[in-house]
Structure formats: C-alpha cells, structure tokens
Amino acid sequence: MRKFDLELSVGLFILAGILCLGYLSVRLAKMEVLGGQGYELHALFTNVGGLKEGATVVIAGVDVGRVQSITLENYRAEVVLSIQEDLELQEDAIASIKTKGLIGEKYIQITPGGAEEIIPPGGKIWETEPAVDLEQLISQFAFGKI
C-alpha cells in the first residue's frame, strides 16, 4: 500500500512537470494554441530578405503583432500579419522590413500614417518598403565611383 502511494506521487509529480514544460514552451515561443487574438493584414513586399514566420511586428519598438505566413505570389512576397485587436492602422501606414542590429534577425516595422481611413481587418497595407540589400549598397559604394 505504501509503495503504491510513492509510485503514484512520483507519477503525478512527473506529469505536473511535463505540463509545466509544455506550458512554458508554448509561452516562450508565443505560439497561439487557440487561434490567438488579433486581426489579419496583408502586405506585398518585393523583397523580405529572409523574414521568418513568427517574426515580430513593431511600432516604435513595441511588439504589436507577428508574421503569420509568407508565401510567394507572382514572384513577390505576400506576408500575412496578425496585429493585436485594439490597434488601428491608417491606410498610409508604412510597413518596412528591418534588421535587428547589423546582421540580426529580420522584423517588420510599421510607421503609422496621417490618413483618416483605417485599414479594416483582412485589409492590405499598401505602403511597403522592401528589405534594404546591404551588400548591394556596399557594392554600390565600393564600385560606384568608376
């Protein structure tokens, strides 16, 4: 009887540990288990420069959403963003692909606009800036003055 109690408590302990681990990994990876809140916006870029799904979307450096998916559409990158519910974006807001640091990971920065119209959920951010090709700029700088 006492032996059974010991095994049961060890089992429960392990189970609780596994649950905690699962919870932690979901929270750390910020995965959305139940659909997640927020609304979708689409944006077309000529070059995303290695942007990954799950990358952050920021305004003024503050996290406001995530990259949900990136697909190739007519040789352009169609990016679907999930933006937090209460946030309104003007239709002239600009989405730019930025790099953390000099060689860090890519993220999307949104600079709010001045227009009256708000992009509806499922709508499109028209103003996009592609990733700046650093090598291209360096090569222009290096070889430009012939």
Partner 1 sequence: MGIARVWMRISVGLVLFGLLTGTPVLRAGGPMEGIRETTGRILQILSDPSLEGKEHRAERRRRIREAVDERFDWEAIARSALSTQWRNLKPAEKDEFTRLFSSLVERTYMDRLEAYSGEDVVYLDEETFDTRAKVRVKIVTRKNQEIPVEYRLRRGNGEWRVYDILIEGVSLVKNYRVQFNDILAKSSYAELVERLKAKVQQES
Residue 90 DSSP symbol: B
- The contact pattern for partner 1, residues 48-87, with x = CB under 8 A and - = no contact, is ----------------------------------------
Q: Residue 68: is it exposed, middle or buried by C-beta count within 10 angstroms (0-12/13-18/19+)? A: buried
Q: How far is the CB of 9 from partner 1 (least distance, A)?
A: 58
Applying CB under 8 A, among 5, 86, 116, 135 the residue interacting with partner 1 is 116
Q: Is position 138 an interface residue for partner 1 (rule: CB under 8 A)?
A: no
SS3 for 92? coil
CB 56 within 8 A of CB 29: no
Comparing CB distances to partner 1, the nearer of 37 and 140 is 140
Measured at the CA of 112, the angle between CA 78 and CA 99, to 5 degrees, comes to: 55
Q: How far is the CB of 102 from partner 1 (least distance, A)?
A: 18
Q: Is position 113 an interface residue for partner 1 (rule: CB under 8 A)?
A: yes
Residues facing residue 109 across a β-bridge: 58, 96
Applying CB under 8 A, among 12, 18, 132, 138 the residue interacting with partner 1 is 132
